Chain A
Amino acid sequence: MTTLSLMVENSAGVLNKVSALISRRGFNIDSLAVGKTQDENISRITIVVSCDEATVTQMVNQISKLYCVKNITVLKFGEAKSRELMMLKVKTNNQNRNEIIQICTLFDARIIEAGLESVMIEFVGDVEKVQAFLALISQHEILEIARTGVIALAKQTIM
């Protein structure tokens, strides 16, 4: 799994340019997240892909050609800290409520709304933690799920 971190112009149509390129060249992506940065003229697009190295190289080379892309960094597994925010609505009743709370405690997930028939959970984690959490929580009935996609920053270089 590879993460691409793009610094792009913060202007209309830029996301379209990047995503249209990905689709027309037939690259498969796992997730794409976009947001502002500390520089109001620059946005960051984080793309997670699971494809071979040659495809990643081709993708980076093609994306680099877009004039709205100022910089592109390839973050290999282990070179960056990554997080994804996920919100889930899980069906609850008196029998399983405690178990759900336990799973949430175990994974540092927060219950942000609770009702008679469901709870809403906020969960933040890296890819591995997301997978582990989902494996456990999906033993219960998930009613709805919303994910931001992975965002990442490169780790500090150790001298």
Chain B
Amino acid sequence: MEKMNGAKIVIETLLEQGVDTVFGYPGGRILQIYEQLYKYSDKITHYLVSHEQGAAHGADGYSRSTGKVGVCFATSGPGATNLVTGIATAYMDSIPMVAITANVSTNLIGTDAFQEVDITGITLPITKHNMIVRDVTKLADAIRTAFKIAKEGRKGPVLIDIPSDILLATCQYEKQAPLELIKADVPTNIQDAVSIINHAKKPVILLGGGSGAANCEDEIEILANKLNCPVVSTLMGLGVNHSDNFMGIVGMHGKRCANISLVKSDCIIAIGSRFNDRVAANPTSFGKNRKVIHIDIDKAEINKILDSYCHIVGDAKDALQMMIKDINKKDSKEFLEEIEAKKLDKPKILPQKIIEKMDELNPNGIVVTDVGQHQMWVAQYFKFKRFGQLLTSGGLGTMGYGIGAAIGAKVGNPEENVSLVIGDGCFGMNCNELTTIARYNIPIIIVLMNNGVLGMVRQWQTLFFDKHYSATNLENNNVNYEMLTKAYNINYEEVKNEIDFENAYKNALKINKPTLINCIIDKDLFVAPMVNSTQSADKFILE
């Protein structure tokens, strides 16, 4: 038992949780915590970002790539509001994260004091839980609970707001072990699901991000082997399975054969997928003529979008373990062949070749994307070997996610190569974080897909707005990326073809220094296939 102030309690409780890395930005109200970070600098490394959004994305990238809970700090007011997009990004993708903000002192709360903002009110809809701590004796437990909530069941971000006088107030502190996580209830309806699967002729396994979060790669492999059926995934589920039967992502920009396998199936085993509109544009047609078995740890996802034929609420690993022993071996060879026949071999465009080259040269490296056309090309053409290898903003589609997340990934995995694929639009959004890369000399390889336009928006304008390219042209910016990177002491290469890219990427992997490879690509390339956003998954606008 030791008496200490709130700020010290924050650091001590973070240490209880095994935290050794935080991302943040200091300011007036959070100074007490930064004072403690100064004293604890041998135990916790703080990464100073350029903007709090980068801290939130950094904690998110750290979390996705290490499986640990990412932590970020921000001061009151603008510091706290700058975290918002990053917290929302983590929330939409169920990423465990703890955000700690300081606020004005208790006596000033509610008075519109300088740099005061109601951050718990603001983040209410984008956190799994949030709290304001008004009593220093409850601070340690609040932080412990935050970590528990972030990790338990369906994961997500938690925000703790601490008024500055609470950081200064003192109380007794006693070290504790992290709270035990409550295990999910025993899954139900197992036998029903088994019977449906055993009677199915054309089953398909659909993997969502939840299947990765549940660490059930092995069980999925056993199930897929038993059924010998097509396996598909959502953007968030990439990496969970990479067997020969893996067909790729489904949905709006899903692989043709992956989408068709869903349409032709008579049973979909959906694991940790929430049938988002980018996956199931038309939930009615998705659920028609086939039995959907929905496995999810979050009861509220059951029948939210799609009325499943059978649902299993619980941990996917538990559920699959209970199911697989009773599932009969099946040979869906004919079905597989039918699907395989739907594969189209089209000549590849440069960005697709670049992604394939990255996969060839660096198959196990972490790949971070931003949002847009390049994101879809990565999802379609990189063969992910494990969950957590791809870091991408799936649910919120946050442009500007990439650089911060890549920093978090590299910091959390110093031994791994981290490549960031990013469009020039996204790059412009948060390139302030190049400062962070330069400050800590973080060797990330930035593959800039530079087409001088907001490619995905332009694609929609081409297809649906009579080529009225309203506000999507970036060419007039005339950004000199070579001079820009020089300013940050970042290695620079410009490439215009596949061979030059290969050399530049090989070199970047070798020198292990922050590098930007500026890939000049055509502005009128399309992400294909593309499915009509209101129709069945095999109604292609672009093949």
Proximity string of chain A (12-30) to chain B, C-beta cutoff 8 Å, 1 when within and 0 when not: 1100110011001000000
Is B511 an interface residue when CB atoms closer than 8 A count as contact? no
Proximity string of chain B (142-175) to chain A, C-beta cutoff 8 Å, 1 when within and 0 when not: 0000000100000000000000000000000000
A7–B486 Cα gap in the complex (Å)? 60
Instruction: Judge whether B303 and A57 touch: CB under 8 Å.
Output: yes
Nearest neighbor of B302 in chain A, beta-carbon distance: A61
From known contacts A13-B132, A65-B298, A67-B149, infer whether A20 and B124 are also in contact, taking CB-CB under 8 Å: yes
A159–B299 Cα gap in the complex (Å)? 31
Instruction: Judge whether A64 and B299 touch: CB under 8 Å.
Output: yes
How close is B133's CB to chain A, nearest CB, in angstroms? 11
A24–B121 Cα gap in the complex (Å)? 13
Is B28 an interface residue when CB atoms closer than 8 A count as contact? no
Is B120 an interface residue when CB atoms closer than 8 A count as contact? yes
Which B residues are CB-close (under 8 A) to A58?
Answer: 300, 303-304
Which B residues are CB-close (under 8 A) to A66?
Answer: 129
Is A116 an interface residue when CB atoms closer than 8 A count as contact? no
How close is B101's CB to chain A, nearest CB, in angstroms? 15
Is A106 an interface residue when CB atoms closer than 8 A count as contact? no
Which A residues are CB-close (under 8 A) to B121?
Answer: 13, 16
Q: How large is the interface on A (under 10, 10 to 19, 20 to 34, 35 or more residues)?
A: 10 to 19
Is A54 an interface residue when CB atoms closer than 8 A count as contact? yes
**Interface residues of A, dominant DSSP:** helix
Nearest neighbor of A57 in chain B, beta-carbon distance: B303
- Tell me how many residue pairs across A and B have CB atoms closer than 8 Å: 28
Is B67 an interface residue when CB atoms closer than 8 A count as contact? no
Nearest neighbor of A24 in chain B, beta-carbon distance: B125
Instruction: Judge whether B125 and A62 touch: CB under 8 Å.
Output: no
Instruction: Judge whether A17 and B302 touch: CB under 8 Å.
Output: no
Proximity string of chain A (61-96) to chain B, C-beta cutoff 8 Å, 1 when within and 0 when not: 110111100000000000000000000000000000
Interface residue from A17, A54, A61 paired with B299 (Cβ < 8 Å): A61
A12–B300 Cα gap in the complex (Å)? 25
Instruction: Judge whether B132 and A54 touch: CB under 8 Å.
Output: no
How close is A73's CB to chain B, nearest CB, in angstroms? 16
How close is A58's CB to chain B, nearest CB, in angstroms? 6
Which A residues are CB-close (under 8 A) to B298?
Answer: 65
Instruction: Judge whether A65 and B120 touch: CB under 8 Å.
Output: no
Which B290-313 residues sit within 8 Å CB-CB of chain A?
A: 298-300, 302-304
Instruction: Judge whether A20 and B125 touch: CB under 8 Å.
Output: yes
Nearest neighbor of A68 in chain B, beta-carbon distance: B129
How close is B283's CB to chain A, nearest CB, in angstroms? 13
Which B residues are CB-close (under 8 A) to A12?
Answer: 132
Interface residue from B120, B124, B303 paired with A54 (Cβ < 8 Å): B303
Instruction: Judge whether A67 and B129 touch: CB under 8 Å.
Output: yes
Which B residues are CB-close (under 8 A) to A62?
Answer: 300
A33–B124 Cα gap in the complex (Å)? 21
A58–B121 Cα gap in the complex (Å)? 23
A107–B459 Cα gap in the complex (Å)? 67
Which B residues are CB-close (under 8 A) to A64?
Answer: 299-300
A62–B302 Cα gap in the complex (Å)? 11
Instruction: Judge whether A17 and B304 touch: CB under 8 Å.
Output: no
Nearest neighbor of A23 in chain B, beta-carbon distance: B125
Nearest neighbor of B300 in chain A, beta-carbon distance: A61
A57–B303 Cα gap in the complex (Å)? 9
A65–B313 Cα gap in the complex (Å)? 14
A21–B303 Cα gap in the complex (Å)? 18
Which A residues are CB-close (under 8 A) to B125?
Answer: 20-21, 24
A67–B152 Cα gap in the complex (Å)? 12
Given contacts A20-B125, A67-B149, 9 further A-B contacts (CB under 8 A): A13-B132, A16-B121, A21-B125, A24-B125, A54-B303, A57-B303, A58-B304, A65-B298, A65-B300
A-B CB proximity, top 7 nearest: A61-B300, A67-B129, A61-B299, A62-B300, A24-B125, A20-B124, A65-B300
| B residues apposed to A, CB below 8 Å | 120-121, 124-125, 128-129, 132, 149, 298-300, 302-304
A-B CB contact pairs (8 Å), 15 listed: A13-B121, A13-B132, A16-B121, A16-B124, A17-B124, A20-B124, A20-B125, A21-B125, A57-B303, A58-B303, A61-B300, A62-B300, A65-B128, A66-B129, A67-B149
